[in-house]
Amino acid sequence: RVDVSRAGGTDMTAVNAAIDAKSTSDRAYAQAQAEGLLLEKAALASNTGNKIYDPINYGAVGNGVADDTVAMQAAIDACITGNGSLYLRGRSYLLGAITASTAVVGNPTASWRSPKAIVGDNATILAKAGTTTLWTMQGTSNMVMSDIRFIGQNNCVTVLDTNWTQSAAPAQCNHYRKIEARGATGIVWKAASNNGSNFDSCVVVAKDWDTVSLQILANGGHVRLNSCEFLPGIIETNCQSLIIHD
């Protein structure tokens, strides 16, 4: 069932009733879907008091040609400092290496900070020439990333790196919804130790049959893959529990 306290005042009675009506096998999937939509809405709703940061307001052009690296990083850094959410309009952003989380020194149980949510409006992130890893977001917990397409052109090796790097830190419990990642020459999406995370309606495309599309290793908790596509189809995994729904 969905925690009403996370809904920003939204009445979740009907949602919870729908979840309860489903069979046991489908209930976890229904809850994950509802929770993801709820968190996305709460992250951007004005009545939550959450600040929204838009890279366009920091000088990004979003035409897929101009280099938006500096503007995007500035928006992310301000977002982390302001404890807000990052909003990406439905544009194309040409970027070099981006770091979307920062370490908190001296706090081993909550060692990283990131935006509360990174919510796109069908946004596209393009790797500029010379980029090895396009988007690094290590050590995040309980955050939503949705509706973004990451394209690793120009010989980019890894498109997304959401690895957890702190052995003493808690499970991530992130929710990735409608994320597309493709175009890398190596592992497309690194997601080691993404404990308790949900991947909903994600599409990850590797360059060939010998390349790993999604790597989810050393997970101490469950990982859910809901209505995802992995092409050509190689997933490298070592999870305590991997739950797959078509």
Burial 149-164 (b: 16+ CB within 10 A, else e): bbbbbeebbbbbbbbb
Instruction: List beta partners, residue 85.
Output: 52
**pTM as predicted:** 0.77
Q: What is the pLDDT of residue 9?
A: 44
Amino acid at residue number 56: I
The DSSP code for 188 is: S
What is the C-alpha to C-alpha distance for residues 116 and 100, in angstroms, rounded to an integer? 11
Task: Return the closest-CA partner of residue 126 out of 61, 78, 175, 186.
Answer: 61
Burial class (CB in 10 A: 0-12, 13-18, 19+), 193: buried
Q: How many whole angstroms separate alpha carbon 110 and alpha carbon 213?
A: 29
Supply the pLDDT for residue 223: 82
- Per-residue pLDDT tens digits of the chain, which is 246 residues long: 444 444 444 455 555 555 455 444 454 544 555 555 555 555 554 434 558 889 999 999 999 999 999 999 999 999 888 888 888 999 999 999 999 887 655 544 455 677 778 888 889 999 999 999 999 987 777 788 899 999 998 889 999 998 876 544 544 678 899 999 999 999 999 988 777 788 999 999 998 888 889 888 655 667 888 889 988 867 877 766 777 776
